Amino acid sequence: MTERQLMTGNEAMAEAAIRAGCRTYFGYPITPQNEILEYMAAHLPAAGGAFVQAESEVAAINMCYGASAAGVRTMTSSSSPGISLKLEGISYLAGADLPCVIVNVMRGGPGLGNIAPAQGDYFQATKGGGHGDYRVIVLAPSTVQEAAELVGLAFDLSDRYRVPAMILADGMLGQMMEPVALPPHRDPATLPPKPWALTGAKGREPNYVASFALDPKDLRELNLRRHERYREIAAREVRWEEVATEDAHVLLVAYGTMGRIAKTVVRRARGEGLKVGLLRPITLWPFPYAPIRELAARVRAVLTVELSAGQMWEDVRLAVEGRCPTPFYGEMGGVVPTPDEVLAEVKRLA
């Protein structure tokens, strides 16, 4: 077995970013993700990178824009209210086709809300958030191990498609500790080249990076090409996990922290002879519409469970398209249901 370390989700995501070749980090403090900043401040300079605690979230995301344009792997992190502030910059990154990894350790909202775990930023993450016709790749880890792995994947996908990628975690995952086998270190010099980057035009034609095209025909063309890439992502990069779905009568759909709690629900339900399964989306965009649709034809109900009023629920219903009932169970404001509370809801359906 690879040697495991005991780390919080926040620390593991920060270390995984350094190991993925991230060499610039820009952030502004907010609970419950401050350990990412702390970790980066302590360890990124030693890896030859640059850490800057910016004067605001807006400054931090725009520093990412600059670093990314220069071809460097770059990351920022925040929690819900701070991500709202970053949205203008995320839209600009999307408009300039710049890779960047953004970590959102979600907390209770709206507004200042509180610092407890929540999933109320699903719409913001998966439906744009900022202005304009753009998409962000959204990855939702449910364990500290998976958080570390998905950070590496986020950098790779973001570079490959030149689309910003977001890790959508929550306060519980950020604060809890689990053993994690960290991915190996990657030398930034060995990463795929970025011929579009602004690295100095000596001996070549200058590159141009901007999220600006005054002529409508030009902007339409840029958007069409970008959406071509979005279609490619939707066709190739959908990821999900299934648990005990083969003979399930009730299918749970849950992601992140709620996804792992749902695993315990499935285990307890099976222990009582109830045929319950789980589909846990790992990519929230692109969303696993096809596998949910396929399972919906075989089950009696698809129960969406979220730490929100029902945001992913809309995508689940788009996937099911009326093939079976699609009830919803959710908690808000930082309240996290126990496995037994969800199980009681499952029993009403099974």
Partner 1 sequence: MERSVVFAGFGGQGVLLAGKILARAAMEEGLEVTWLPSYGPEMRGGTANCTVVIADEPIGSPIVDRPDVLLAMNGPSLDRFEPRVAPGGTVIVNRSLIERPLRRTDVKGVYLQANDLARELGEPRAANMVALGAVVRALGVVPLEAVGQAIGEELGAKGRERLVEVNRAALERGHQKSGAPPSPPHFSRPG
Q: Residue 175 interacts with partner 1 (CB under 8 A)?
A: yes
Shortest gap between Cβ of 114 and partner 1 (angstroms)?
A: 8
Q: Residue 171 interacts with partner 1 (CB under 8 A)?
A: yes
User: Which tokens in the block code for residue 322?
Assistant: 């009326």
Closest to partner 1 by CB, 1 vs 46, is: 1
Q: Residue 336 interacts with partner 1 (CB under 8 A)?
A: yes
SS3 229: helix
Closest to partner 1 by CB, 58 vs 116, is: 116
Shortest gap between Cβ of 177 and partner 1 (angstroms)?
A: 4
Residue from 94, 252, 261, 299 binding partner 1 (CB under 8 A) = 261
Using the structure block, give the residue that is written with the tokens 């930082």.
Answer: 334
C-alpha distances out from residue 99 to 55, 116, 154, 157, Å: 22, 30, 10, 9
Shortest gap between Cβ of 32 and partner 1 (angstroms)?
A: 6
Applying CB under 8 A, the span of 49-57, 74-82, 193-201, 335-343 interacting with partner 1 comes to 335-343
Shortest gap between Cβ of 116 and partner 1 (angstroms)?
A: 7
- Which residues within the stretch 124-143 sit at the binding site for partner 1 (CB under 8 A)? 143
Tell me which DSSP letter residue 117 carries. Answer: B
Count of residues near partner 1 by CB under 8 A: 28
| Closest to 130 measured CA to CA, from 65, 72, 66, 194 | 65
Closest to partner 1 by CB, 32 vs 129, is: 32
Closest to partner 1 by CB, 72 vs 278, is: 278
Please say whether the beta carbons of 143 and 176 come within 8 A. no
Residue from 53, 209, 264, 298 binding partner 1 (CB under 8 A) = 264
Give the 3-state DSSP-derived string for 325-341, with helices as H, strands as E and coil as C: CCCEEECCCCCCCCHHH
Applying CB under 8 A, the span of 19-27, 57-65, 314-322, 332-340 interacting with partner 1 comes to 332-340
Closest to partner 1 by CB, 56 vs 338, is: 338
Shortest gap between Cβ of 341 and partner 1 (angstroms)?
A: 8
Please say whether the beta carbons of 124 and 282 come within 8 A. no
Pairing status of strand 301-306 against strand 250-253: parallel
Shortest gap between Cβ of 167 and partner 1 (angstroms)?
A: 18
Name every residue whose Cβ is closer than 8 Å to that of residue 225 and which is 6 or more positions away in sequence. Answer: none
Applying CB under 8 A, the span of 123-131, 147-155, 172-180, 194-202 interacting with partner 1 comes to 172-180
Alpha helices (H) along the chain: 9-19, 34-43, 57-69, 80-95, 122-126, 144-161, 171-175, 216-236, 256-271, 289-296, 312-320, 339-349
C-alpha distances out from residue 283 to 157, 287, 345, Å: 12, 6, 26
Length of the chain: 350
Please say whether the beta carbons of 180 and 4 come within 8 A. yes
Shortest gap between Cβ of 150 and partner 1 (angstroms)?
A: 16
Contact pattern for partner 1 over residues 13 through 32, marking x by CB under 8 A: ------------------xx
Enumerate binding residues for partner 1 (CB under 8 A): 1, 4, 6, 31-32, 115-116, 143, 171-172, 175-179, 260-267, 336, 338-341
